[in-house]
Amino acid sequence: MSYLDNLGSLKLNETTPEAKSSQIVKFIHASDIHLGSRQYEKSLRSNDFIFVLKEILTIAYENSVDFILFGGDVFNSLEMLPGKMNAIIEVLTAFKKSTNGKIPIITIEGNHDIRRYSRGVKFDRRDQSWLKVCARIGLLVLLDADLQASPDQIFQPYEFEQVKGGKIQIKNVVIYGSRYLGERPISPLSKMRKAIKKEKGIYNVLLQHFGVEGQMRQVPGVSLDVLKPLQHRIDYLALGHFHKQFIIDNWVYNPGSAEAVCSMDFRFKRGIFLVEISGIDYFTKKVKMIPLKNRSAIWRSIIVPYQFKDKKHFYAYIVKSLKETFKGKRDTSIPYLFLTLRGARPFLNRKINPKEFQNILNKELPIIGSKIYLKLHSKSITLENYL
């Protein structure tokens, strides 16, 4: 039996009006998984992004959802180690097999999925992405709109044989989607509004990858004034891109990154949304935020009280100070350490070697890795006059 044979329930207009009256549609909304990320050059850390994909799929299975939405940046870049890509394909294949293909993963390409540069190397061919590879082998549904077409042709029904389309209907929910169109896709959003029809008994979801202005400090996004005209045609605006979770007017939903991709993300509220839609003409929506079991992080700040004579004594002082943090700790998830050093510069004629320092911390402490921020002064100070 092929993947297409298992997708009979996804054909457009299959649900009868009589069946809609008792229907409940459930779905997971997640985003920004950044598979393939090798954060802080740690191989073990790169597995965390695959583990979180497994967790999302497990939650979807346990809650018997009808579909899963990924709001882009499923992959971190085009650069991918073969072993990691093989592991990701195995996870997606196992999920398809365990669900008999009845819980489709519906996604769009984010800026990381399609970016043309990785580690300073330019990829000459456009339209490459690992999401396209996964779609071609039947592991997910990749939506994209044709914004050069006339309004009635912008969102074509998804065709599984051609692996192409801009919308898909599941029961009485229609999901529209397009790839990343920039930080402020004002003109494309206007075209989408004209292309999307609001029909009786149909619940419309628009899947996009952009941020909303004001939700993250000094990070550009689309203003609410631009989005509001869409509200008359879209019941649920499903976003990705910003790694910080937010909900606006019980209509705009951004779950945040599935795993912390940078140090700032560890401080954000993040997770996934479990959404339940019921009703006929008037729909009722229940949205539950589910936090994920991400790797933890510890932030510590240590004041260096005076200049040390040598590196040995300085490192011993810092390690001893930090060991108090981990005393009695029984966390099965080994944390990542973010360490800020303030106060006196530790040596008269030497600078701290960050790599050497990190290796010592990684060896002496129960951590997966560390990042060090140096905010030191040239003169010795006491704790009293520092505070």
Last residue of a domain, one of 290, 325, 352: 290
Last residue of a domain, one of 271, 290, 309: 290
| Confidence check: pLDDT of 43 > 70 | no
> Cα separation of 45 and 108, whole Å?
25
Question: How much is the pLDDT for 15?
Answer: 45
Look up residue 162 and give its DSSP letter. Answer: T
- pTM for the model stands at 0.84
Mean pLDDT of 30-55: 86
> Cα separation of 290 and 74, whole Å?
18
**Whether residue 364 sits in one domain with residue 334:** yes
> Cα separation of 244 and 224, whole Å?
17
**Whether residue 319 sits in one domain with residue 280:** no
**Whether residue 181 sits in one domain with residue 150:** yes
**Whether residue 135 sits in one domain with residue 34:** yes
| Confidence check: pLDDT of 311 > 50 | yes
Assign 307 a pLDDT band (cuts: 50, 70, 90).
confident
Helix segments in the chain, DSSP class H: 17-20, 43-62, 82-98, 111-114, 130-136, 186-195, 224-227, 311-326, 354-364, 383-386
**Whether residue 196 sits in one domain with residue 326:** no
Domain count along the chain: 2
Question: How much is the pLDDT for 202?
Answer: 95
Mean pLDDT of 299-327: 87
Q: What is the mean pLDDT of the chain?
A: 86
Closest CA to 295 of 319, 323, 331, 325: 331
Question: How much is the pLDDT for 20?
Answer: 46
| Confidence check: pLDDT of 41 > 70 | no
Mean pLDDT of 115-137: 71
| Confidence check: pLDDT of 8 > 60 | no
Question: How much is the pLDDT for 14?
Answer: 43
Q: ∠ CA(265), CA(327), CA(365), 5° rounding?
A: 60
**Whether residue 271 sits in one domain with residue 146:** yes
| Confidence check: pLDDT of 120 > 60 | no
> Cα separation of 278 and 27, whole Å?
12
Packed helices 43-62 and 82-98: angle between N→C axes, nearest 10 degrees: 10
Q: Which domain holds residue 375?
A: 297-386
**Residue 359 contacts by C-beta under 8 Å, 6 or more apart in sequence?**
none
**Whether residue 285 sits in one domain with residue 303:** no
Mean pLDDT of 207-211: 97
**pLDDT 10s digits, 211-239:** 999 999 889 999 999 999 999 999 999 99
Question: How far apart are the two ends of the chain, measured CA to CA in Å?
Answer: 69
Mean pLDDT of 93-113: 96
**Whether residue 202 sits in one domain with residue 77:** yes
Question: How much is the pLDDT for 126?
Answer: 57
**Whether residue 186 sits in one domain with residue 230:** yes
Question: How much is the pLDDT for 45?
Answer: 80
| Confidence check: pLDDT of 17 > 50 | no
Packed helices 311-326 and 354-364: angle between N→C axes, nearest 10 degrees: 40
**Whether residue 324 sits in one domain with residue 211:** no
The type of residue at 177 is: G
